[in-house]
A and B are shown apart, each in its own frame.
Chain A
């Protein structure tokens, strides 16, 4: 899922206070699961904004709505009636959701309420970790199901580097060295010979280096 964190309250207040009315839109998918921008977070944030406005005797109308997904046209249709009532929209979705809202409402100012952080997993409740960078050519088959691009600080394709110490990464001793994990897992799976294969220089054009990416499925397009 996409993992995000809410922007600091002070930053959101300064955004919201530029307007007399604002719509806080939550997203019911990834950012609900990581407790950053779902229905509850939208209500919490709106409550804080209403209190701050009242404390400073500032008139601020707040509308709230959470849609299933902000990254799909059909769901953001539901925002249309409320969007008409407000000066600006604060999106509590990932950057993709916030951008689709901006596209959908060309004459509204749209603000991001979250910092979109990474593609990751829930390690346990309240702890999320990065796992994938969306490089466009997955090589997990060669690395025992552990991604060296997202999980090695140096994105090494043939690691470890010289700084790997006692299973920890030299960049951050709190983080496991991805290549140590890969080595151990391949050994356990009886696939240690995979480590002898040199992974060639990666073609990054399928990743961000080739510009924004697009997937087209002719069998699905209407």
Chain B
């Protein structure tokens, strides 16, 4: 059958190139909603806030667009961690997209656990477009969290 979604192809590009590792620098994808987290990331830049360069942002029109398969494919391609960032609960531009995403993240965490991958490699956050500082903080916290867990076994076990 046809590929279901071009996002899956973008994912393979974003997650598969990594520099040779000296100290562990995690590769973290951030699926950011266009209306909040993506704008917040932009604002963080405008505010000249620095956050770890480990975060690679993928803009999605709403976290409701998030598919469990995007998350799995990203891990399969070797991502060490994934952030899903959507609007604050009750403020979704499409009313319930972030609540749907929340359930999908819970489900994806269960799938990860079922094959023995730490589910804390995947976290969802809620923030508004005005929270540039919060975005930088999430990026730093998540980078620290993934550094503590260590590199994904899928990265080191490439056959």
User: CB of A59 within 8 A of chain B?
Assistant: yes
Comparing A44-52, A141-149, A168-176, the segment that makes contact with chain B is: A44-52
- A67's nearest neighbour on chain B, judged by CB, is B1
Which of A9, A40, A50, A51 has its CB near the most chain B CB atoms (within 10 A)?
Answer: A51
- A interface: dominant SS: helix
- B115's nearest neighbour on chain A, judged by CB, is A52
Which of B75, B111, B115, B158 has its CB near the most chain A CB atoms (within 10 A)?
Answer: B115
Q: Within 8 Å CB of B69, what residues of A?
A: 40, 43-44, 47
Given A40-B4, A47-B73, A47-B76, do A52 and B111 touch, yes or no (CB 8 Å)?
no
Q: How many A-B residue pairs have CB under 8 A?
A: 51
Given A9-B111, A39-B4, do A51 and B159 touch, yes or no (CB 8 Å)?
no
Given A44-B72, A44-B111, A47-B72, do A55 and B157 touch, yes or no (CB 8 Å)?
yes
Query: Closest Cβ of chain A: how far from B102's Cβ, in Å?
Result: 14
CA distance A13 to B75 in the complex (A): 18
Q: Within 8 Å CB of B106, what residues of A?
A: none
Contact B115 A51 (CB under 8 A): yes
A interface residues, tally (CB under 8 Å): 19
CA distance A59 to B1 in the complex (A): 25
Q: Within 8 Å CB of B114, what residues of A?
A: 8-10, 48
Contact A50 B76 (CB under 8 A): yes
Residues of B at the A interface (CB closer than 8 Å) are 1, 4, 67-69, 72-73, 75-76, 111, 114-117, 153-154, 157-159
The 10 A-B residue pairs with the shortest CB-CB distance, nearest first, are A9-B114, A47-B72, A52-B115, A55-B153, A54-B157, A51-B76, A47-B76, A48-B115, A54-B154, A57-B157
Residues of A at the B interface (CB closer than 8 Å) are 8-10, 13, 39-40, 43-44, 47-48, 50-52, 54-55, 57, 59, 65-66
Having A43-B4, A48-B115, A51-B72, one finds 5 other A-B pairs with CB under 8 Å, namely A10-B114, A48-B72, A51-B76, A54-B159, A55-B117
A-B contact pairs, 20 of them (CB 8 A): A8-B114, A9-B114, A10-B114, A40-B67, A44-B69, A44-B72, A47-B72, A48-B115, A50-B76, A51-B75, A51-B117, A52-B116, A54-B76, A54-B154, A55-B115, A55-B117, A55-B157, A57-B157, A59-B159, A65-B1
